[in-house]
Amino acid sequence: MLATGPEIQNHLISIINSDAPSIYSSAYKDELTKFGSLRTWMSLGLHWVFLTMSLVITCTIIWTKKPRRLAWLATASLFITLSIFDIAYGFLLDSISVKNLSENFFSNLIGGSFVAALIIGFFSIADFFYKHAPVANRLKSIMAGCSVIGGGALFSAITYYVTLVFYNPIPAKIETYLSSPIHGVFILSDEKEKTSGANDKKAKFSLLPPDKPIEAKISWTTMNLKDLALKNSKLGERYNVSINFLSGACSLDNLKK
């Protein structure tokens, strides 16, 4: 759960501080980003920095069984541990400032309280399994431990997909109207896979952005069919192509490079 903290902080703080017209622009400005896979996201939690912080926090709270005391210890240990990490990271990157520290301390306090509440919830579920599971005591301990790990993994996965819905860029439809005369060049990549138009399938509806690029359709309208020449192509065939907008004089040889 600690590994999701920097990403959540980055996206939420950017919305507060930015006057961009969209939540994506508030976090990434004019840059085009691409999210990694869920496996990559989850593997961040195994980084030695987050494992070390988790070990310190666990050693602090594992000795108490009272929920109220557990909440206070978890919140305090999370806030102190995360703040020490932020200060050390700031010195390492030479990015220490009053504004940066204020944002980090505020985020650590809110985030520490939220994670402390999750920890209490996961411990309650683990306690339920340990007391009521109809198995041997040794298996009860394993089930209780797995429920805590599973709860943290589920929280991380939900955070990933929520972030993916709001911040993963999706393909956009672009229509361009050009006046005559105009010249265009199509360069087919050797690795492109040719597909027949008769076998095309409609894209299925999905709430989440697709992992694979969406196929695009290019229409070229001309008053005279002789003005359109496609090399090594036949009518009715469809290709996956890449469009690049270039400004200024450029030779065909440079385009191919």
- Dump pLDDT digits (tens) for 137-196: 888 888 888 998 999 999 999 999 988 888 877 666 666 666 655 566 555 444 444 443
- Dump pLDDT digits (tens) for 71-117: 999 999 999 999 999 899 888 888 888 888 898 999 999 999 999 99
pLDDT of residue 222: 46
Contact 48, 183 (CB under 8 A): no
pLDDT of residue 66: 84
Query: How many Cβ atoms are within 10 Å of 2's Cβ, its own excluded?
Result: 22
Q: Which pTM does this prediction carry?
A: 0.62
Mean pLDDT of all residues in the chain? 75
- For the chain, domain boundaries: 2-167
Question: What single string gives the DSSP state of each residue in 81-107?
Answer: HHHHHHHHHHHHHT---HHHHHHHHHH
Query: In the chain, which ranges are E strands?
Result: 195-196, 237-238
pLDDT of residue 117: 92
Handedness of CA 95, 96, 100, 101 (dihedral sign): positive
Tell me the β-bridge partners of 112. none
pLDDT of residue 79: 94
CA distances to 19, 93, 152, 257 from 14, rounded to whole Å, are: 9, 19, 25, 38
pLDDT of residue 37: 85
Query: How many Cβ atoms are within 10 Å of 72's Cβ, its own excluded?
Result: 14
**Sorting pLDDT into bands at 50, 70 and 90, what band is 20?**
confident
CA 133/CA 255 separation, integer angstroms = 67
